[in-house]
Amino acid sequence: MMIKRILLFIAVIIMVSCSDEDRNRIPNITPSKIELSTAHPEGFFQFMEGDYAMYEFRIDYGKNDTEVSKRITKEILSKEQTVVELSDGNKATIYCKNGILQKIEFDFMTISKVQTGKYKVQLNKNSIQQVPVAISFGFSVPDGISTIGITFK
């Protein structure tokens, strides 16, 4: 009977340590999804630990699976302000300081870094550009990419 208890105890320890390993592999962003609307025009998200560089963003317009993406390159990070033309003809203004992304302004929204590992997303009121269905931001982390998804209502 004592051997069964010891084996059960060891099995529980192994299960708990394995589940922690999977969760800790890629740093979490909380919340992982945010919904912006005129009633709720802003939101915040942050990494559970640390701070990571933004790798890219993807805009989904929902029409015929139209998606626009842009990688945040070293060239973009090396300048204080860069205006990039997206493949759909719209523009994004990217602001950096000392090689670290600080803010991206789209016509329909703004994402800005408010402190280490914490970001604010805000819907712009007077948008002339079509507001997409969703936008996602991917961040380079040690074992892959962590993503935050923002939907618009």
| Domain assignment of residue 126, given as a range | 27-152
Give the model's pLDDT for residue 22: 47
Residue 97 lies in a domain: yes
Residue 89 forms part of a structural domain: yes
Higher pLDDT residue, 131 or 105? 105
Number of domains in the chain: 1
Q: Does residue 18 lie within any of the structural domains? A: no
Q: Is residue 22 part of a domain?
A: no
Determine how β-strand 33-36 pairs with β-strand 144-152.
Answer: parallel
Residue 141 pLDDT exceeds 70? yes
The predicted-structure confidence for 37-93, as pLDDT tens digits, reads as follows: 999 999 999 998 889 999 999 999 887 767 899 999 999 999 999 999 988 888 999
Contacts with 101 (C-beta within 8 Å, 6 or more apart), sequence order:
53, 54, 72, 77, 94, 95, 113
Residue 2 forms part of a structural domain: no
Q: Percent of the chain beyond pLDDT 90?
A: 62
The mean predicted confidence, pLDDT, of the chain is 86
User: Is residue 54 included in any domain, yes or no?
Assistant: yes
Read off the CATH number of the domain in which 45 is found: 2.60.40
Q: Is residue 94 part of a domain?
A: yes
Q: Is the pTM of this model over 0.85?
A: no
